[in-house]
A = this chain, B = another copy of it.
Amino acid sequence: MIDESKTLFCATCPTRRSAEWNAVDDVAIGLLNRAKAPRIYQRGELIFAQGDECEGIFCVEQGTVALRRVDRDGNVALVNLIHAGLTLGLRSYFSETPRQASAEALETCSICFIPSEAVESLLNSNAGLCRSFLKHVALDLGAAHRALLQKDALPVRNRTALLLLYLHDHYNPTANGDSFRVPLTRQDMAELIGTRPETVTRALHQMQEEGLLATSGRTVEIPSLAAMRRVAEEAD
């Protein structure tokens, strides 16, 4: 799955293609290429931990990362999923606060670390970059506010449907039919939509009985996206 040869040059990195790094010119890409520290993370490995000082940002080249936040009583929320091509760790970097969440590889990931000094010189040499990051963080803020409203406006069934649709968008059906694998445990899904694993199971189970869903382990198939969208939006 992981092709290490591709991790060597920022110029060919999919992250480069995402809007965020458009502002960076070729000279700066050279600089970036020298400064970055690429690494492979296995499932379960932490990229950074809640409480850590922030020493730079990360680019996710391959794989999916979970941002997990824990409170003092041990309650957990999975705050965000960061997919391949996205930048990781911006909130902490630009708010100048320690990491407020842990970043954990949900599958084998290829990720580059960009130390603060390199980030700063990129920001200095590329006027548009700051604006790109600002847009990214502003979009994240919108998503967080959306999640906030969903969480106490919608029952678990609707939130589960929304989650499935979201996962469908990101782990798109490949050639083999319309099914896709998600690297999330029931626990992860529960943390993501703000409930318990048992409750997720029950919601999924019910959807299967209604023919809205077919699961087998972590492989999922949604026979009708239209029907699933209807479930996501239905009122009780």
Interface residues of A (CB under 8 A from B): 69, 71-73, 75-77, 79, 90-97, 100-101, 123, 127, 130-131, 133-135, 137-142, 144-154, 194-195, 233, 235
Contacts and interface: CB of A to CB of B under 8 A. Distances in A.
Contacts of A233: 72
A148 B79 contact: yes
28 contacts: A71-B150, A71-B153, A72-B233, A73-B235, A75-B153, A77-B145, A77-B148, A77-B152, A77-B153, A79-B145, A79-B148, A92-B138, A93-B138, A94-B134, A94-B135, A95-B141, A100-B145, A137-B138, A137-B141, A140-B141, A141-B141, A144-B145, A144-B148, A147-B148, A148-B148, A148-B151, A151-B151, A152-B194
Number of copies: 2
A69 B138 contact: no
Contact of A134 (B127, B137, B153): B137
A151 B152 contact: yes
B100 A194 contact: no
Q: Is the interface of A mostly helix, strand, loop or mixed?
A: helix
Nearest to A150: B71
What 6 pairs between A and B have smallest CB-CB spacing? A75-B153, A95-B138, A144-B144, A152-B194, A94-B138, A77-B149
A150 B148 CA distance: 11
B100 A142 contact: yes
Contacts of A194: 148, 151-152
